[in-house]
Structure 1
């Protein structure tokens, strides 16, 4: 039976990918635990395994003394001489234990220790191997489904492809091959979980790295990937070699390279664009396949207005805003889209508003220039300070006016005085005009036989 132990060690090591030395240490620890459970925890016991024969040997060691003070670690010389006539004081006396007599409970304890040690070794190997592969793609076989999550056999470990990390609409059967990105490794209470993903943008980048040698070699670099899984992805690529077209390298002859990625992503549309530092050009490319008429960019606010022909409007926006949303995410600019017709209408409204503002400004400038001692330059400064009429100036304070560039304290007081006088004159003229109008209306009412100015109604004669 013992030679079979070597076979078990070798088989277990191969199955779990654990060094056989680790398994041997686990068995030794298990036998030691079981022995101490039977003979006492204070006993000095050592366990050895003969890797040639598979024999397990356990020894209990005690020091040879004249007087025993610690029975768990010492033995009387006369007792030791009964077993070995050559033994002397101070020597270690080894008593071989019969491992087969450890008993059922001790054997169960040994089994638990072995299982625990093997599991710990397996955990360490998984964390070390897969923890260093986060961000890589891996192939596996679907084992089963648990609450919508796929449990995948990765060979040395089990992977979990959560429901939210699956491409919408894709289905898998038991035994089917699946390729995914290693997104994370979580050390759970049972065994480490290798979390997989097929929706991460990095998954698309890694698929292209597999299909495009220029990317793998570093000649072509993927700057950024944005995607809505199962619908559309956009990639910005750049070439380190002027002789290599980055977009053409990713597409491949007759589209063979990009089609391989599309097939893996279950038909997801992929737009590949050449990255550029020219913002206008980058935004235009990011909105492909739509044709752009004109672009206005605000680099400070990181926003852009894009104008397209009416026929290109739905294409530029995309289904449920998908194309413009991905374009904004790819470029880092908030992209707003309008049709040519809407643009022309908006442009006309802005021009009309500008003309109205210009007329209002000219009228205000003319009015303020009527104030004594105020020239066109001073009037412009007053307008720019927010005073648009003589009434505004009349209600201002001397301190507020003197704060305007080019207007001193004395000038401010003169302006206030002149504004008040002009306002008074205007009020008097308005009062005279109102009186004349009232007089004219009164004479008219007398001529029409309606001195009180009320309306007259003629009742109809009932026939």
Structure 2
């Protein structure tokens, strides 16, 4: 059939009908029709030709145009869509037909005296094509494909901003344990591992879930739901507690063991509002609504505190904590509890301490008071023996130093002498002798470590690098790090150690310099300094980045509201 013989208004009517059905713009459907007709025309006139079709948006008339571009003779490749300036001269004149027109820089050419220029475009109207059965089928496929792409784009644009929110849907079917959910203008998937416990659904069941991720893929937008994500519970509380929605109360941290137990840390920015009480609600009405949605999951609501130790004590409730030992240099934090509270603090299968660790972001060691006493006694004895062996002291004097807080030889050797004189029974001569002995031992150990490092091949560039002790250089050389270039290629965690998650379990990565007390920040600074010294990093760019980070930290600190300490926990759903 020929386009001109058809009722041309049907094109516009069809486009509008398809657009309404698929909920996309009619313009997209018309553009798909133009593309399909252009492909059909190329199959008639030749695939090398540049044929374009324009459908009039008012009357549906379809105009077929052949486009040729003036190019340099050396760049001429497609003789059907391009021609040289000499070849274009016979055509280069004002056209009587409005559809045959010369364009220069997108505008009609007005001055024809200078001749055709490189880049000029000649548009020439050609007769409409007859669409055979195969061409019509091909055109239909092109339109359907373009409509599907437009529909997918529309779905992605609609749902991409809903990631991180709760959505309601209806269960359509189950595939290999995964639930396919109808969410109105699209489908979403609730994977088997994102369901709570052993909950099951049947077709047409209503479901509420958290939009975890929205991805654009070739087969269409993929919307992934979750009912186990900690933020699902946070969003449920935001729906049930107006103070959270209004920003008066903020959820600072959430930890969940889906279907079993959860902990949530909250803070109030209004001193007249109790954050825990507001989340619990009158007679537990608010928290019970969340518990019901989460299949009876027990929820501990904990007041958040800026003080790390206070928040940790709150997070471990209902267990009572005797003492929290915070060591800035230690990778873990120690919590001491009475013997009878140990099982409660750990929880069934370690659940309570695991959730507290997730909530606070801390690695927690729980000790009983007796275990802590034995450990401290062992440390006391080890330090006493160190001073006895190294400084040739009797047991009483060595214990006196440990009791005064000295932990290593460096503290004795380089501390202000007045600190030693403040110890009962230590006079100036004794203090000088102690420091001299300590320095002699340290210097001897340094000389031995340097000899060992040089024997292993350590170069002066590494030995003389500021911040590395002889013992550190020896440790690096034993691991094959023998030059400053080797050191500059190290990652900070290789030096200071860190943690890696493998199959859901945290695994410790031992650092080369971790036994020597190097922190992650110190390792980062030393590695970056080495790279600057070697010319690998521009110090000006490094300073600019540090200034930008400091400015961001300052803005964050200015926006932060003061935390309110407290120690009240409500348990719901027990």
TM-score range, shorter chain: 0.5 to 0.7
The equivalences for 1:92-241 within 5 A come to 97=128, 102-241=131-270
Q: Which residue of 1 aligns with 2:355?
A: 326
Aligned residues: 358
Helix, strand or coil for the counterpart of 2:231?
Answer: helix
Q: Which residue of 2 aligns with 1:247?
A: 276
Identify if the C-alpha distance between structure 1 residues 167 and 51 changes in structure 2 by more than 3 Å, giving closer, same or farther.
farther
Q: Give the counterpart of 2:25 among 19, 23, 31.
A: 19
Contact 1:159 1:194 in 2 (8 A): yes
Identify if the C-alpha distance between structure 1 residues 316 and 365 changes in structure 2 by more than 3 Å, giving closer, same or farther.
closer
Q: Which residue of 2 aligns with 1:281?
A: 310
Higher Cα radius of gyration: 1
Contact 2:253 2:360 in 1 (8 A): no
Q: Which residue of 2 aligns with 1:48?
A: 55
Q: Which residue of 2 aligns with 1:29?
A: 35
Q: Which moved more, 1:174-183 or 1:375-384?
A: 375-384
Contact 2:30 2:55 in 1 (8 A): no
Helix, strand or coil for the counterpart of 1:174?
Answer: coil
Identify if the C-alpha distance between structure 1 residues 71 and 379 changes in structure 2 by more than 3 Å, giving closer, same or farther.
closer
C-alpha deviation, 1:280, in angstroms? 2.3
Helix, strand or coil for the counterpart of 1:214?
Answer: helix
Q: Which residue of 2 aligns with 1:381?
A: 435
Across the aligned residues of Structure 1 and Structure 2, the Cα RMSD in angstroms comes to: 3.8
C-alpha deviation, 1:334, in angstroms? 2.2
C-alpha deviation, 1:244, in angstroms? 1.0
Q: Which residue of 2 aligns with 1:268?
A: 297
C-alpha deviation, 1:342, in angstroms? 3.9
Q: Which residue of 1 aligns with 2:456?
A: none
Structure 1 gap segments, 5+ residues each: 64-69, 73-87, 367-373, 388-395, 401-463
Q: Which moved more, 1:88-97 or 1:125-134?
A: 88-97
Identify if the C-alpha distance between structure 1 residues 20 and 240 changes in structure 2 by more than 3 Å, giving closer, same or farther.
same
Helix, strand or coil for the counterpart of 2:352?
Answer: helix
Structure-2 separation of matches of 1:359 and 1:237: 51
Contact 1:136 1:206 in 2 (8 A): yes
Structure-1 separation of matches of 2:248 and 2:80: 75
Contact 1:181 1:203 in 2 (8 A): yes
Identify if the C-alpha distance between structure 1 residues 205 and 14 changes in structure 2 by more than 3 Å, giving closer, same or farther.
farther
Contact 1:17 1:156 in 2 (8 A): no
C-alpha deviation, 1:31, in angstroms? 3.2
Contact 2:252 2:265 in 1 (8 A): yes
Contact 2:12 2:30 in 1 (8 A): no
C-alpha deviation, 1:323, in angstroms? 0.9
Contact 1:199 1:229 in 2 (8 A): yes
Contact 1:233 1:269 in 2 (8 A): yes
Q: TM-score, normalised by structure 2?
A: 0.55
C-alpha deviation, 1:241, in angstroms? 0.8
Contact 1:38 1:106 in 2 (8 A): no
Structure 2 gap segments, 5+ residues each: 1-5, 68-78, 82-93, 100-124, 399-427, 449-574
Q: Which moved more, 1:242-251 or 1:297-306?
A: 297-306
C-alpha deviation, 1:18, in angstroms? 0.9
Structure-2 separation of matches of 1:259 and 1:384: 64
Q: TM-score, normalised by structure 1?
A: 0.66
Contact 1:365 1:383 in 2 (8 A): no
Structure-1 separation of matches of 2:280 and 2:135: 66
Contact 1:57 1:96 in 2 (8 A): no
Helix, strand or coil for the counterpart of 1:182?
Answer: strand
Q: Which residue of 1 aligns with 2:106?
A: none
Contact 1:137 1:206 in 2 (8 A): yes
Q: Which residue of 2 aligns with 1:428?
A: none
**Higher RCO (CA-CA < 8 Å; seq separation 6+):** 2
Contact 1:140 1:177 in 2 (8 A): yes
Q: Which moved more, 1:127-136 or 1:305-314?
A: 305-314
Helix, strand or coil for the counterpart of 2:262?
Answer: strand
Q: Find out whether 1:362 has 2:369 as its counterpart.
A: no
Contact 1:159 1:193 in 2 (8 A): yes
Structure-1 separation of matches of 2:189 and 2:350: 32
Offset from partner CA, 1:167-197 (integer Å, 9 cap, x none):
2322111111222222222222211211222
Identify if the C-alpha distance between structure 1 residues 298 and 153 changes in structure 2 by more than 3 Å, giving closer, same or farther.
same
Identify if the C-alpha distance between structure 1 residues 31 and 341 changes in structure 2 by more than 3 Å, giving closer, same or farther.
same
Contact 1:16 1:156 in 2 (8 A): no
C-alpha deviation, 1:118, in angstroms? 0.6
C-alpha deviation, 1:89, in angstroms? 7.3
C-alpha deviation, 1:16, in angstroms? 2.6
Q: Find out whether 1:58 has 2:62 as its counterpart.
A: yes
C-alpha deviation, 1:34, in angstroms? 2.8
Helix, strand or coil for the counterpart of 1:338?
Answer: strand
Offset from partner CA, 1:73-119 (integer Å, 9 cap, x none):
xxxxxxxxxxxxxxx97325878758xx5121111111111111111
Identify if the C-alpha distance between structure 1 residues 11 and 229 changes in structure 2 by more than 3 Å, giving closer, same or farther.
farther
Structure-1 separation of matches of 2:440 and 2:397: 12
C-alpha deviation, 1:214, in angstroms? 0.7
Structure-2 separation of matches of 1:61 and 1:364: 104
